[in-house]
């Protein structure tokens, strides 16, 4: 059996690491007496609306908007810590990244993240596992826009039909499918390891 893919795109939060963004925001919401799910949904919209997610706004502008819209308290640094401390890396997933790379498959990260991802890399050397890192903050395009998938494949010099996209967000999975990518919906580490065998040769 030959590898059926030439490239694999990995999401960060929820795949390579625990979902620190959602979990951190829910914790902030609870501390401020707000419904954690409603608070997360509100801030998930604001990080995109403010332009922070795609690098057209700075972090302080984002947090100022969050405080103004939701009434929470806390300085930028303490709020960020609530999120970053919850991005716990998943070694089992990273080992599969390394395995794919050793098979000659291009491995890239495709993440809707901010400059926070650069801070995480300085602490973990995460980027060294990948051939390319596509971070919405620097790439100026989010996975909420389906054209990001064709643009990233073009950057890597591969066809969408030979590219596997791994994400825990079903809406992102559906957008990738609409652009012709193969997809793996991440629901657990064990399920991911099992599903991955469909795309790579054994041994």
Residue 201 lies inside a defined structural domain of this protein: no
31: in domain: yes
Same domain, 165 and 155: yes
The answer to whether residues 99 and 78 belong to one domain is no
Q: How far, in Å, CA of 167 to CA of 13, rounded?
A: 9
Task: Give the domain-ending residue among 64, 84, 104.
Answer: 84
Domain presence at residue 155 = yes
Which residues make Cβ contacts (< 8 Å) with residue 136, sequence separation at least 6? 53, 54, 55, 111, 112, 113, 114, 142, 143, 148
Same domain, 53 and 25: yes
Of 53, 60, 21, 25, nearest to 39 by C-alpha is 25
In-domain check, residue 151? yes
Q: Are residues 145 and 119 in the same domain?
A: yes
Q: What's residue 2's pLDDT?
A: 55
Tens of each residue's pLDDT in the chain, 203 residues: 457 899 999 999 999 999 999 999 999 999 999 999 999 999 999 999 999 999 999 999 999 999 999 999 999 999 999 999 999 999 999 999 999 999 999 999 999 999 999 999 999 999 999 999 999 999 999 999 999 999 999 999 999 999 999 999 999 999 999 999 999 999 999 999 999 999 987 65
Residue 1's pLDDT is 41
Domain assignment of residue 76, given as a range: 20-84
The answer to whether 153 and 7 have CB atoms below 8 angstroms apart is yes
Distance (Å, rounded) from C-alpha 173 to C-alpha 166?
8
């Amino acid at each position: 059996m030959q590898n059926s893919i030439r490239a694999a795109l990995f999401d960060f939060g929820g795949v390579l690491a625990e979902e620190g963004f959602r979990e951190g925001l829910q914790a902030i919401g609870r501390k401020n007496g707000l419904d954690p799910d409603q608070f997360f949904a509100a801030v998930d919209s604001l990080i995109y609306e403010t332009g922070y997610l795609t690098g057209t706004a700075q972090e302080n502008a984002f947090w100022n908007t969050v405080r103004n819209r939701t009434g929470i308290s806390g300085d930028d640094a303490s709020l960020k810590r609530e999120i970053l401390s919850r991005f716990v890396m998943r070694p089992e997933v990273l080992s599969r990244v390394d395995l794919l790379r050793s098979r000659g498959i291009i491995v890239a990260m495709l993440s809707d993240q901010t400059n926070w991802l650069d801070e995480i890399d300085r602490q973990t050397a995460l980027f060294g596992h990948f051939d390319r890192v596509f971070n919405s903050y620097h790439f100026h395009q989010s996975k909420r826009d389906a054209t990001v998938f064709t643009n990233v494949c073009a950057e890597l010099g591969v066809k969408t039909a030979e590219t596997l996209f791994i994400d825990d967000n079903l809406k992102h999975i559906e957008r990738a499918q609409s652009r012709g990518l193969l997809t793996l919906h991440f629901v657990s580490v064990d399920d991911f390891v099992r599903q991955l065998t469909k795309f790579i040769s054994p041994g």
